[in-house]
Amino acid sequence: MEKLAISDVTLSFGGLKALSGVSLDIQPGLITSIIGPNGAGKTSLLNCISGFYHPTSGNIYYGDHKLNKASPHQVSNMGIARAFQNIELFRGMTVLDNLMLARHQKLHYSLLHAMVFFGKASREESKSRQYVEEVIDFMELEPYRKHTVGNLSYGIQKRVEVARALTLAPQLLLLDEPMAGMNIEEKEDMVRFVIDIQKERNATVVLVEHDLGVVMDISDRIYVLDFGELIGAGTPDEVVKIPKVIEAYIGED
């Protein structure tokens, strides 16, 4: 596993700074959370890591790979996957078809092989199907595998969104508010999946989440953003004692 190093990253849209001089070190194998009020720049930072935005200045490295100008496809090929806050699934397709489609990025065979579907193409498709089935089992989606995504509950759709990212076998998984809009039982399930992804699938997890209780319970390290600036970092016990964090995020009595 590689370290994700974000150094003095600024992201500007005209005169508006979404991020201003943000530096983070995401250590491999840990659950690292990024928290902050709405508009703090959390999703903008994930967009810079995953290639949807390119930072105006500063550097982002994943191991020896510089991500500043990388496309989402290139970032994905480096072993980084993302589950989105707004569900990015094909609502008219089944769970299985959504996951198989996402997994196609990992297939490598020629147009000729694809046309005749023989030899290498057949073998790779078979391995891909096996991997997707493992992800379905891991995320406990077996009862829904043939269901159309648009007919599923919101909580299950969020679970499918995380499964979609897992089909890419990421070493680094970016989760953008995976528990938003969930009830207590659904949140408990998702917390369990996040922990299992870290421990059983040996993935580094970067979690953006508003539920402070969840963040404090499962995070190894926390970074706090406010108005695009980093105002605190440390373990959960350290972060809750930082005055700027209390003022900006937790609130004072």
The model's pLDDT over 147-177, given as tens digits with 9 standing for 90+, comes to: 999 999 999 999 999 999 999 999 999 999 9
Number of separate domains in the chain: 2
Within a domain: 84 = no
> How much is the average pLDDT of 12-34?
94
Domain ranges, residue 50: 1-79+170-253
Are 203 and 141 in the same domain? no
Are 1 and 104 in the same domain? no
Is the pLDDT at 14 greater than 90, yes or no? no
Q: How many residues does the chain have?
A: 253
**Alpha-carbon distances of 99 from 95, 175, 228, 229, rounded to whole Å:** 6, 17, 34, 36
Q: Which pLDDT band, with edges at 50, 70 and 90, does 59 fall under?
A: very high
Are 144 and 213 in the same domain? no
> How much is the average pLDDT of 88-117?
71
Q: How many CB atoms lie within 10 A of CB 196?
A: 13
Q: Which pLDDT band, with edges at 50, 70 and 90, does 210 fall under?
A: confident
Is the pLDDT at 115 greater than 60, yes or no? no
For position 109, what pLDDT does the model report? 45
